[in-house]
Amino acid sequence: MKKYTRLEKVKDVLREKPASRSSDKILIMEYIYKFHPELVSRGKIKIIDMINLPSFEAITRCRRKIQERGLYLASCEVSKSRKELEADMRHSILGSIIPNFLK
């Protein structure tokens, strides 16, 4: 049996659960339910069991890589919001660096 990479697992969740394309919380929850069901009891996970999970950042990083390739994109509303946040962040970073650099 083939061992799936984390990227392939995230791609499976994004394909099967469209809501996970627009929400990292839903993506993480669905990822855990699908690939670590043994850790879920009555819809909950013990904090001690979280050590056996990949980091949430690793899961969301895979989602970003997949969506950068144009696959399983978020809704138009969420995509627009993400682009606005990215532009604001770039402006904040560059706005604080460039004036100091030019002085």
Tell me how crowded residue 14 is: count the other CB atoms within 10 A of its CB.
23
Average pLDDT over residues 96-102: 59
Q: How many CA atoms lie within 13 A of 15 on its CB side?
A: 8
Q: What is the pLDDT of residues 20-71, one digit of tens each?
A: 999 999 999 999 999 999 999 998 999 999 999 999 999 999 999 999 999 9
